[in-house]
Amino acid sequence: GISISGTALNCASQTEALAEKTKKIAADLGCPTNNTKDMVNCLKSKPAYDITHGPLYFM
């Protein structure tokens, strides 16, 4: 993808293997990963802090 506004140094803004990383985060938070709609709905119910302050998925 194209990085803008200083994102070249922000690894979390890169979209490489995004689906796999999202499934890993979802599984770690106890969300289902076999159905995208259910996974997204579950992730939406989680506090943003839990999603952004877990292990460094995007590094």
Burial of 20-57, coded b for 16+ CB within 10 Å and e otherwise, reads eebbebbeebebeeeeeeebeebeeeeeeeebeeeeeb
Q: Tell me, what's the pLDDT at 31?
A: 98
- In this prediction the pTM is 0.68
Angle between helices 36-45 and 18-28 (to 10 degrees): 60
How far is residue 16's CA from residue 58's CA, in Å, rounded to a whole number?
A: 9
| pLDDT of res. 16 | 74
Q: Which has the closest alpha carbon to 11: 19, 3, 23?
A: 3
- The per-residue pLDDT for 41 is 98
Residue spans per domain, the chain: 14-52
Return the pLDDT at 36. 96
- Say what the pLDDT of residue 44 is: 97
Q: Which residues of the chain have pLDDT under 70?
A: 1-15, 55-59
The single-letter DSSP state of residue 57 is T
